[in-house]
A and B are shown apart, each in its own frame.
Chain A
Amino acid sequence: MKLTVRSLCKSFGDLQVLKDFNLKMESGCVCCLMGPSGSGKTTLLRILMGLEMADSGSIVWEDPSRAGAIKESQTFAEGNPRTQAAAAGIGRSKADTVPRFSAVFQEDRLCEAFTPVENVMMAAGRLLSQAQARAELARLLPEESLSRPAATLSGGMKRRVAICRALLAPYDVLLMDEPFTGLDDDTRQTVISYILEKSAGRMALISTHQEEDVALLGAELIRL
């Protein structure tokens, strides 16, 4: 999988959050996005996932490993209907579109009434058995917390469930928006090791506020 972002711009009213942003990444590459609050980290991740539309620029996803070397490109320009369709997510739900994303959002976005195991199973589909999901979750969370509704977990526990869900779902590209929020130092190190293990060989773009995370992830640093 290859990603090429060219001259991406995005403004909210008068506030420009992304200006001529360029990026090249490929499978096996882990990049960390750093920048002060409001610098456009979340916006960039949302544009990459197709949840937000850029004002101008282009995003090209290429998967030479698949038959026919699948390529999907989005060119953003105001009033361009093709771009709007792509940004609205039309066609993205089809199994053969590239890439398949997995994400940790800025918020945990868990189904609060369901247990961590159920939250993971919801995203993982048939790739994972319930016992496997439980065993994977137990690497990051106390065993007793796995059968409780997510709403009853602490903030740090919820974050770990969200991370686990993202890593156990099928994906080509992993996008994480400040995944270490609410985690203490020891837990953060465990989580980082887990991320590196589960995302090996795939593309990962992670936004963070701490340079230490970049070093621990062995990631390439991108400043916004």
Chain B
Amino acid sequence: MKRYETIWRQPLIILFWIFIWQLAAWLIHNNIILVGPADAGLALLRLIPTGNFWLSIGHSFVKISLGFLMAFACGMALGGAAYRFPLLREFLAPVLSLLKSIPVASFVILALIWVGSRNLAVFIAFLVVLPMIYVNTLAGLESADTKLLEMARIFRVPPLKQLRYIYLPALLPYLLSSCKVALGMSWKSGVAAEVIGIPDSSIGEQLYMSKIYLDTANLFAWTFVIIVISALFERVVLALLAGLQRKGGAVHEADRPQSV
């Protein structure tokens, strides 16, 4: 009975809020200020069969995920190098502090001048994700158990084995939690950059058009699309990392002994 209740609770809560949303739309009765879920759904259904819909999704997906993946690779490489060479860490500290504190809008304007609107989303997603991955890679490597490192030194464990047995298990939880935040941020900032830069056939351009034509239904439909793609991308990346964590031998809490 309890399980039955748990299964239905979440969908019912979501249905409740959709109902409130529809109710608000009926009460306001103005499709420019607020459209209800039914109108937003209809707008989405109208968009799905069009070629431009899929082209825009494909364009933004490629650019934003490319920016994320490049930042992921660079962040890890830089984090690893900064862990190995403390001087490099000191050199990078002011640059990364700057990257974290500069508003995305300032970057977008600068990026429009430097790289143009075509690769804007790649650049912005890269700049937003890089500091997160770098900081967490460094923190993960620094959290490696010093007693295990001492043990590895005594047994003369080669560096690659140290990476697999000691550093990776310490690093992966940090990487997983930073990716959860970074994936969402890459989509938010990437699309925001597209809205400012308006590259051809992109989700940002579609959102901009919704603003120009005061087409709130389309705006809601595209927002829904962004949420779905961002969530799917997040699931895929996190599943890959979780797979690596399992392969690396991470232990589930349930596997731990009750008493030692």
Instruction: Report yes or no: B166 in contact with A111, Cβ–Cβ below 8 A.
Output: yes
Q: Which residues of A contact B249 (CB under 8 A)?
A: 111, 113-115, 118, 149
- Confirm or deny: A56 has a beta carbon within 8 angstroms of a beta carbon on chain B: no
Q: Which residues of B contact A153 (CB under 8 A)?
A: 257
Instruction: Report yes or no: B147 in contact with A113, Cβ–Cβ below 8 A.
Output: no
Instruction: Report yes or no: B161 in contact with A152, Cβ–Cβ below 8 A.
Output: no
0/1 per residue, B135-155, Cβ < 8 Å to A?
000000000000110110111
Instruction: Report yes or no: A151 in contact with B255, Cβ–Cβ below 8 A.
Output: yes
- Confirm or deny: B7 has a beta carbon within 8 angstroms of a beta carbon on chain A: no
Instruction: Report yes or no: A152 in contact with B255, Cβ–Cβ below 8 A.
Output: yes
* Contact A151:B256 (CB < 8 A) given known A93-B153, A122-B161, A122-B165: yes
Cα-based distance from A50 to B28 in the complex (angstroms): 77
Q: Which residues of A contact B250 (CB under 8 A)?
A: 113
Residue total for B at the interface (Cβ-Cβ under 8 A): 22
Cα-based distance from A103 to B153 in the complex (angstroms): 11
* Contact A49:B251 (CB < 8 A) given known A109-B148, A118-B165: no
- Confirm or deny: B18 has a beta carbon within 8 angstroms of a beta carbon on chain A: no
- Confirm or deny: A6 has a beta carbon within 8 angstroms of a beta carbon on chain B: no
Q: Which residues of A contact B169 (CB under 8 A)?
A: 111-113
Q: Which residue of B lies closest to A119 (CB)?
A: B165
Q: Which residue of A lies closest to B159 (CB)?
A: A93
- Confirm or deny: A100 has a beta carbon within 8 angstroms of a beta carbon on chain B: yes
Given A114-B249, A123-B155, A125-B158, 17 new contacts (CB under 8 A):
A51-B150, A51-B153, A51-B154, A92-B153, A100-B156, A103-B155, A107-B147, A109-B148, A111-B166, A111-B169, A111-B249, A113-B248, A113-B250, A122-B165, A148-B255, A151-B251, A151-B256
15 contacts between A and B (CB under 8 A): A51-B150, A51-B154, A92-B153, A100-B156, A109-B147, A109-B150, A109-B151, A111-B166, A111-B169, A113-B251, A122-B161, A123-B155, A125-B158, A149-B255, A155-B260
Residues on A lying within 8 angstroms of B by beta carbon are 49, 51, 89, 92-93, 95, 100-103, 105, 107, 109, 111-115, 118, 122-123, 125, 148-149, 151-155, 165, 169
